[in-house]
Amino acid sequence: MLNLVLFGPPGAGKGTQSQKLIEKYGLIHLSTGDLLRSEITQGTPLGLEAKKLMDQGVLVPDEVVIGMISTKLDANKDAKGFIFDGFPRTVAQAEALDSLLEAKKAPIAGMIALEVTDAELEHRLLLRGKDSGRPDDANPEVIRKRVKEYNDKTAPVAGYYKSQHKFNSINGMGTIEEIFHSIEEIIKGYLQ
């Protein structure tokens, strides 16, 4: 089993690269952002609560996303591996993920962090906000709040994986293909 965490600030390209990775390596993509937006679309109570926070650019509570990930892991028992995208976003989430995977004897192989400048993040998200329908993309203030949440609460998760010697950082600026190539180079090491 190959379990990877794709890491980086809002707009770094986690979802874009995950799509290419699942095609090439046959892994299951678990994006907590996508799972939450699906709850919103279905109008569930969880979705309604989450929407209030997501529209402001702040994180939803740890228990909510940990519960969603736990359900998805149970529902995909025969998976070749998982790409975690937008999760874990706090150290508490990282610890919970380790416990869930310990039960499966399939720990995280590594984290791959996409490094992108703040100016490029804002540019990408505002561009997408023109037609994505995502309220959190449309407003520069909300985008800055998302980046601040990342710096305050999520950036420390990199240290968590550094201490386990599982951290890799790559340049997230450039074309989608160039970035994918850098990720493939890291994955080659894990598949040996």
- Choose, by CB under 5 A, the member of 6, 15, 42, 102 that binds Mg ion: 15
CB of 56 to Mg ion, least distance (A): 17
Burial annotation 14-28 (CB, 10 A radius, 16+ → b, else e):
bebbbeebbeeeebb
The answer to the question of residue 59 lying near ligand AP5 (CB under 6 A) is: yes
Task: Choose the contact partner of 128 out of ligand AP5, Mg ion, none; CB within 5 to 8 A by kind.
Answer: ligand AP5
Q: What residues are annotated to the active site?
A: 14, 89, 128, 134, 146
Q: Residue 88's closest CA among 116, 115, 129, 60?
A: 60
Residue 29, phi then psi, degrees to nearest 5: -90, 120
The answer to the question of residue 12 lying near ligand AP5 (CB under 6 A) is: yes
CB of 55 to Mg ion, least distance (A): 16
Distance CA 137, CA 17 (A): 19
CB 160 within 8 A of CB 94: yes
Burial (CB count <10 Å: 0-12, 13-18, 19+), residue 36: buried
Distance CA 88, CA 92 (A): 8
The answer to the question of residue 33 lying near ligand AP5 (CB under 6 A) is: yes
CB of 112 to ligand AP5, least distance (A): 12
Residue window 88-127: x/- pattern of binding to ligand AP5, with contact defined by CB under 6 A: -x---x------------------------------x---
Binding site for ligand AP5 (CB under 6 A): 8, 10-16, 32-33, 36, 53-54, 57-60, 65, 86-87, 89, 93, 124, 128, 136, 146, 175-176, 179
